[in-house]
Amino acid sequence: MAQREADFVIVGAGSAGCALAYRLSEDGKNTVIVIEHGGSDFGPLIQMPSALSIPMNMSLYDWGFRTEPEPHLGNRVLATPRGKVIGGSSSINGMVYVRGHARDFDHWAEQGAVGWAYADVLPYYKRMEHSHGGEEGWRGTDGPLHVRRGQLFNPLYRAFVEAGKQAGFETTEDYNGSKQEGFGWMEQTIHMGRRWSAANAYLRPALRRPNVSLLKGMARRVVIENHRATGVEIQVGTEIQVVKAKREVVLAASSINSPKLLMLSGIGPAAHLAEHGIDMVADRPGVGQNLQDHLELYIQQEATQPVTLHSVLNPFSKALIGARWLVWGDGLGATNHFEAAAFVRSKAGVDYPDIQYHFLPAAMRYDGKSAAKSHGFQAHVGPMRSKSRGSITLRSAEPAMPPVIRFNYMSHRDDWADFRHSIRLTREIFGQEAFAPYRGKEISPGSHVQTDEELDDFIREHVESAYHPCGTCRMGRADDRHAVVDPECRVIGVDGLRVADSSIFPRVTNGNLNAPSIMTGEKASDHILGKTPLPPSNQEPWINPRWRESDR
């Protein structure tokens, strides 16, 4: 067996893993090996922002996970894409940048993730960001991760924000600043016309250092001796190798693969490990549990003016857009087309937003598979805090086998009421005066779908994952039986092993998960190095003074 060795061995070159590699190697004192099963992110399919739906459908870049039949969605099987490429899911995602709401992190701290309240994580968001146009004093301006606004060339973006205002909702200048609530401009991890993934922001600069190396291979299990992680067993081609960790092993392999690796290594629910003949190292019943996600629907409206992206969906226009992007790095190829957004509250008594909107000046599926036959626009809408919980379990003790993914989507009755409200609210927004010059008939669900039962049928048939899985190695107090890692990301019951990715989130945050995943890597690196965390912030986020009385 070939052996390699470093102070820190990181499994997964995704959003958190890239940040970890950059920070753990920064002072030059520690050696770092990053293990990644996927290959290069080179080429226009990943780097050109408007090509975002393509890599997600390619087995070269995506693990290709699928859920088990979902019992509350008519036994539909849903895709669960995860990046299998350097940069991980930040190389195949929609490039939408959302920190999460202050209250999300305060909730984490209340659930036992002490030291992860908003005051504690805000300094790490500032450290990681290079914000172009964000709210002064609330945003970082010299971090590795470039964040920008869209160009707003399409008049429908402004119509969406204006319609929100006309419906009585707040507007916000920066939903990643002091005030998340309201309609405003969406932020993108795009820089100089390119996808600014964690690989571009963090991993490439780290790999220029002599103390960092990237190793291509599939992690099979963590090697544990006397309750201490000493390395990672990987498969390279047909050969099994062990990569040794002198100090620590850090799993940053995703909310799907991190719990799977823990279980394959003997850390997980005792009975489940015994079923698969795996020797138990630590009985942690929470491993693989607490799986959460965001679901969304596309509410689509026909456009009466030819201002949407429909006119450029033909092969000739796509070729021109691609050529312009390759030569100048600008034009329609340099945006993800998500340039307007909203975070709103569903009802009086909800103190911070629980519904998210992505607005798109086209009527098409997120994965690019089917576009409407005419000019149209759409809002992706979904509740932020579903009460449904699922699990990741082993299909087999064979590491190459994908795990069993059960989200139990829509298993809580409140989720149905939340979605019905989201549909009706979207219709109200599309019905405002701002959309009058552009509004044709409703394409989806269609104006004939009105009753609760009809809406429920539509939801059951058409709801899609927003691809934000998390929570499967929940962070909490060391004495919490169902916590998997403590607030310093250490796996409870095993020395020298940490998990630092979206799997440690106690509860899913508002919005897209790329930003909080990177922040997790940033903050975990200070815990791993034994540094004093950055001083907490004393900035107070905006909470709607009318939250008890009204949804707007």
Concatenated DSSP letters for 282-335? EE-TTTT-SBB--EEEEEEEEESSS-SGGGG-SHHHHHHHHHHHHHHS-GGGG-
Kindly provide the b/e burial profile for residues 244-278, where b requires at least 16 CB atoms within 10 angstroms of the residue's own CB.
ebebbbbbbbbbbbbbbbbbbbbbbbeebbeeeeb
CATH of the domain at 454: 3.30.410.40
> Cα–chain-centroid distance for residue 42?
22
Residue 406 located in a structural domain: no
| Residue pair 116/122 in contact by the 8 Å Cβ criterion | no
| Res 367: pLDDT | 63
Classify residue 238 as exposed, middle or buried by CB count within 10 Å of its CB (0-12, 13-18, 19+).
Answer: exposed
Distance between CA atoms of 313 and 306, rounded to whole angstroms?
A: 13
| Residue pair 517/468 in contact by the 8 Å Cβ criterion | no
372 pLDDT above the threshold of 90: no
Which of these three, 424, 443, 462, is where a domain ends? 462
Tokens of 3: 């052996």
Nearest residue to 109 (alpha-carbon basis) of 532, 513, 536: 536
Residue 544 counted as an annotated binding residue: no
| Res 309: pLDDT | 87
Distance between CA atoms of 220 and 398, rounded to whole angstroms?
A: 9
Distance between CA atoms of 214 and 237, rounded to whole angstroms?
A: 16
Q: Tell me the sheet residues that pair with 342.
A: 183, 357
Nearest residue to 175 (alpha-carbon basis) of 138, 128, 123: 138
Mean pLDDT of the chain: 96
Do residue 366 and residue 487 come from a single domain? no
Q: Tell me the sheet residues that pair with 185.
A: 340
Over pLDDT 70: what percentage of the chain? 98
Neighbours of 447 (CB within 10 A): 9
Residue 550 located in a structural domain: no
Distances (CA, A) of 418 to 167, 226, 385, 452, 550: 19, 49, 10, 12, 16
With tokens 């990181």, the residue in question is 10
468 assigned to active site:
yes
| Res 317: pLDDT | 87
Q: Count the residues in the chain.
A: 552
| Res 369: pLDDT | 63
Residue 93 counted as an annotated binding residue: yes
Do residue 57 and residue 39 come from a single domain? yes
Do residue 20 and residue 41 come from a single domain? yes
Residue 471 counted as an annotated binding residue: no
Each residue of 432-474: pLDDT tens digit? 999 999 999 999 999 999 999 999 999 999 999 999 999 999 9
> Cα–chain-centroid distance for residue 231?
28
Query: What single letter denotes the amino acid at residue 402?
Result: P
Do residue 236 and residue 341 come from a single domain? no
* Catalytic residue chosen out of the listed positions 72, 294, 310, 468: 468
- Over residues 85-112, mean pLDDT: 98
Nearest residue to 429 (alpha-carbon basis) of 444, 439, 416, 414: 439
Distance between CA atoms of 55 and 45, rounded to whole angstroms?
A: 6
- Over residues 466-494, mean pLDDT: 98
Do residue 123 and residue 157 come from a single domain? no
Do residue 476 and residue 371 come from a single domain? no
Residue 117 located in a structural domain: yes
Torsion of CA 323, 329, 331, 334, to 10 degrees: 110
Q: Which domain holds residue 503?
A: 1-148+190-292+391-401+468-538
Do residue 281 and residue 303 come from a single domain? no
Residue 523 located in a structural domain: yes
CATH of the domain at 122: 3.50.50.60
| Res 310: pLDDT | 87
12 pLDDT above the threshold of 50: yes
Do residue 279 and residue 338 come from a single domain? no
Distance between CA atoms of 433 and 112, rounded to whole angstroms?
A: 47
Each residue of 191-242: pLDDT tens digit? 999 999 999 999 999 999 999 999 999 999 999 999 999 999 999 999 999 9
Residue 551 located in a structural domain: no
Distance between CA atoms of 228 and 231, rounded to whole angstroms?
A: 9
| Res 373: pLDDT | 77
| Res 1: pLDDT | 46
Distance between CA atoms of 107 and 114, rounded to whole angstroms?
A: 10
Instruction: Give the chain's radius of gyration (CA, Å).
Output: 23
What SS3 class is residue 503?
helix
Residue 81 located in a structural domain: yes
Tokens of 45: 């399919």
Residue 51 located in a structural domain: yes
Binning pLDDT at 50, 70 and 90, where does residue 151 land?
A: confident
What SS3 class is residue 169?
coil
| Residue pair 389/505 in contact by the 8 Å Cβ criterion | no
Which of these three, 462, 485, 504, is where a domain ends? 462
Do residue 122 and residue 27 come from a single domain? yes
Residue 494 counted as an annotated binding residue: no
Q: Tell me the sheet residues that pair with 291.
A: 390
Distance between CA atoms of 86 and 83, rounded to whole angstroms?
A: 8
Classify residue 374 as exposed, middle or buried by CB count within 10 Å of its CB (0-12, 13-18, 19+).
Answer: middle
Number of domains in the chain: 2
Do residue 354 and residue 369 come from a single domain? yes
DSSP percent split of the chain into helix, strand, coil, nearest 5: 30, 25, 45
Q: Which helix H or strand E contains 147, and what residues bound it? A: strand 145-149
Distance between CA atoms of 337 and 361, rounded to whole angstroms?
A: 7
284 pLDDT above the threshold of 60: yes
| Res 366: pLDDT | 57
Do residue 1 and residue 88 come from a single domain? yes
94 pLDDT above the threshold of 50: yes
Do residue 306 and residue 424 come from a single domain? yes
| Res 314: pLDDT | 87
Classify residue 287 as exposed, middle or buried by CB count within 10 Å of its CB (0-12, 13-18, 19+).
Answer: buried
Residue 96 counted as an annotated binding residue: yes
Residue 548 located in a structural domain: no
Distance between CA atoms of 149 and 190, rounded to whole angstroms?
A: 9
